[in-house]
Amino acid sequence: MGRIVVISTGGTIASRWQGSGFAAEADGQEVVATAPLPEGVTVELVDLFSVNSPRLTTAHQLTLLRTVHEVLADPGVDGIVVTHGTDTLEESAFLVDLHHHDARSVVFTGSQRPMGTADGDGPGNLYDALLTAANTRGLGVLIAFAGRLHAARGTVKTQAVDLDAFADPSKELLGKIGYGKVTMLRTPQRPAALALPAMPEVPPRVDMVMHHADGDPVLLNAAVEAGARGIVLIGTGAGNATPEIVEAVRDAVARGVLVALTTRVVAGPVTEIYTHGGAVDLVAAGAVPTGTLRAGQARIAVLAALLASHEVGERTRVLREVLAAGGSVLVDA
């Protein structure tokens, strides 16, 4: 079936008890050894790092991105599986997807329970990811978890501790994995892949600010003063805030800061409905609406746009282009 390279980065799937809690400790060889291999699949390992995913930095994520490209430079590789902590998996997977130009699949997986537990989900998830990487093409970056298959774009962690941890709240399920078979339910639409960015000496700062009752521009302005080159504003409803925040957004954009507008609501698109500080005014002030992308992935989209160009107008164009793609086509199950 195929030669699959596993890139190990840590997370719960590599975690052991540390006396007061669990933390990533196992290396990639130990992680791979927990799972049976699908028939006909051979595995090679890249032991990249082993950290809890809340500790990941942009530098970690860009290292992972470059490693994926280096692995796929070998035409004999049939696919990649990335084992990753679930807390920021949606961010890393989306970053890789935005720069993924290859027909071969890159499949992210992890676990909700630490390795070695009697009811651990890591071995099954890893088996499913290997099966998916060996049997799918042309779908971009995928997430295999709890017998379900998700497109990287739009998929977020929806359960803090339950095993079925990931979903795209705004779209139908992408596919299912079971009984040694991968069944696709739809085909994701993706924008043209971005060029692989250079490794910056200091990655651009991108902050997130959430609106709420009594929300004011203090944190947004503080992010700008701290050197943020990008900001994700997490609005209420369909992407709304206040007139004072609109003015702060306008000032930030005038200073060359790339501002994206998402919402704290679980599902549905950012939509220009309301004025008096709503999405109508925020977009007019220069904020770029993110559609159905939520905060973590909106931040990755802003980061990718900042890495793509040094020119403010081009960065905005890239961000809009990245955000414009995101539909899907249903296929027969």
Q: For residue range 102-151, what is the model confidence (pLDDT) as tens digits? A: 999 999 999 999 998 999 999 999 999 999 999 999 999 999 999 999 99
The arithmetic mean of pLDDT across residues 34-58, rounded, is 97
Measured CA distances, 116 to 6, 26, 90, 298 (Å): 19, 11, 24, 35
Q: What is the pLDDT of residues 228-275, one digit of tens each?
A: 999 999 999 999 999 999 999 999 999 999 999 999 999 999 999 999
The pTM assigned to this predicted structure is 0.96
- Within the chain, residue ranges assigned H as helices are 28-33, 58-72, 89-98, 122-135, 218-225, 243-254, 279-284, 295-308, 312-324
User: Residue 64: which pLDDT band, with cuts at 50, 70 and 90?
Assistant: very high
pLDDT tens digits for 306-329? 999 999 999 999 999 999 865 444
Contact 15, 24 (CB under 8 A): yes
pLDDT at 1: 65
Residue 22 pLDDT > 70: yes
Q: State residue 72's pLDDT score.
A: 98
Residues 16, 125: contact at Cβ < 8 Å? no
**Bridge partners of residue 79, in order along the sequence:** 4
CA 260 from centre of chain: 16
Residue whose entry in the numeric block shows the structure tokens 């994701």: 188
Give the catalytic positions in this structure: 12
